[in-house]
């Protein structure tokens, strides 16, 4: 199965074509342009470079969150539109798992972190045992100091990745000391090849998502939704 992977939940826009045997191609940009300007041109360019026809694609995978509210909406709308138009199944995968997945094949803990508003990070903790992995702590929006306290309990080295790892690097270093591991910046970028690979696993297992009910995984409501809820509450009281 040839799968198109799409990542737009972070500032990075990335698309990739992957099957179980190889990576056909990947295009990744971190230029600050909006995903609405980048995704479709990137996909068209990728298909042209790899000489893959739309009819060759057997499925689409999307990084479903958490992450940027706007980026998630644009990416999800793009993926659902293409899946419906091309008549192929769609799989949504966790953005945090996508960030941790480059360390598949290692043995130990990985903590992906994305910056979130209100001085919080989107965080999760995964344990890799070779090609197998399990979720130690489910995704949550959390204050960095509280997340550090949760990780200290493990008393073992932890690989950090993502924008939240970089922004609060001094805190992680202080709390975890030598157990804090920060890979180089070239490994801190969300990549669509990981989205596509995780999507293949999900699709081959028969766990495609419903196009009409699938929504981004925000963890918490957006600022606009919170304001609307407050206004409705006041109107009803």
Q: Is residue 237 one of the residues assigned to a domain? A: no
- Between 213 and 118, whose confidence is greater? 213
How far is Cα 62 from Cα 49, in angstroms, rounded to an integer?
A: 21
Report pTM: 0.90
How far is Cα 44 from Cα 199, in angstroms, rounded to an integer?
A: 20
Could you tell me the CATH number of the domain that includes residue 133?
A: 3.30.420.40
Query: Per-residue b/e over 102-135, b at no fewer than 16 CB within 10 Å?
Result: bbbeeeebbbbbbbbeeebbbbbbbbbeeeebee
Question: 72 with 64: CB under 8 angstroms?
Answer: yes
Q: Residue 136 has which token pair?
A: 């130690």
**Residues 196, 215: one domain?**
yes
Question: 44 with 25: CB under 8 angstroms?
Answer: no
Q: Is residue 122 one of the residues assigned to a domain? A: yes
The number of folded domains in the chain is: 2
Domain that holds residue 175: 96-187
Instruction: Give pLDDT, residue 224.
Output: 41
**Residues 85, 149: one domain?**
no
At 118-165, the pLDDT tens digits run: 899 999 999 999 999 999 999 999 999 999 999 999 999 999 999 999
Q: What rounded mean pLDDT belongs to the chain?
A: 91
Instruction: Give pLDDT, residue 211.
Output: 95
pLDDT (average), residues 24-31: 93
**Residues 174, 100: one domain?**
yes
Residue with tokens 């001085």, as numbered in its chain: 119
**Residues 78, 194: one domain?**
yes
Question: 164 with 121: CB under 8 angstroms?
Answer: yes
Q: Residue 54 has which token pair?
A: 């739309």
Per-residue pLDDT band at 64 (split at 50, 70, 90): very high
Question: 2 with 196: CB under 8 angstroms?
Answer: no
**Residues 7, 91: one domain?**
yes
Which residues, in sequence order, are CB contacts of 136 under 8 Å at separation 6+?
A: 109, 125, 126, 127
**Residues 40, 14: one domain?**
yes
């Amino acid at each position: 199965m040839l799968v198109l992977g799409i990542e737009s939940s972070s500032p990075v826009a990335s698309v990739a074509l992957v099957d179980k045997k190889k990576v056909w191609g990947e295009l990744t940009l971190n230029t600050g342009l909006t995903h609405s300007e980048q995704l479709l041109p990137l996909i068209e360019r990728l298909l042209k470079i790899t000489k893959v026809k739309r009819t060759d694609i057997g499925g689409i995978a999307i990084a479903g969150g958490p992450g940027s509210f706007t980026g998630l909406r644009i990416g999800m709308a793009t993926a659902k539109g293409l899946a419906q138009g091309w008549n192929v199944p769609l799989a949504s995968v966790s953005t945090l798992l996508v960030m941790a997945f480059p360390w598949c094949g290692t043995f130990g803990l990985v903590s992906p972190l994305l910056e979130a508003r209100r001085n919080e990070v989107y965080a999760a903790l995964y344990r890799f045992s070779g090609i197998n992995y399990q979720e130690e702590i489910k995704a949550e929006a959390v204050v960095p100091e509280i997340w550090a306290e949760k990780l200290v309990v493990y008393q073992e080295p932890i690989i950090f990745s993502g924008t939240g790892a970089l922004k609060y690097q001094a805190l992680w270093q202080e709390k975890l000391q030598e157990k804090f591991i920060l890979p180089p910046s070239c490994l801190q970028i969300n990549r669509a090849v990981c989205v596509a690979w995780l999507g293949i696993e999900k699709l081959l297992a028969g766990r495609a998502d419903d196009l009409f009910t699938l929504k981004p995984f925000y963890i918490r409501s957006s600022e606009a939704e919170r304001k609307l809820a407050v206004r409705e509450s006041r109107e009803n009281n």
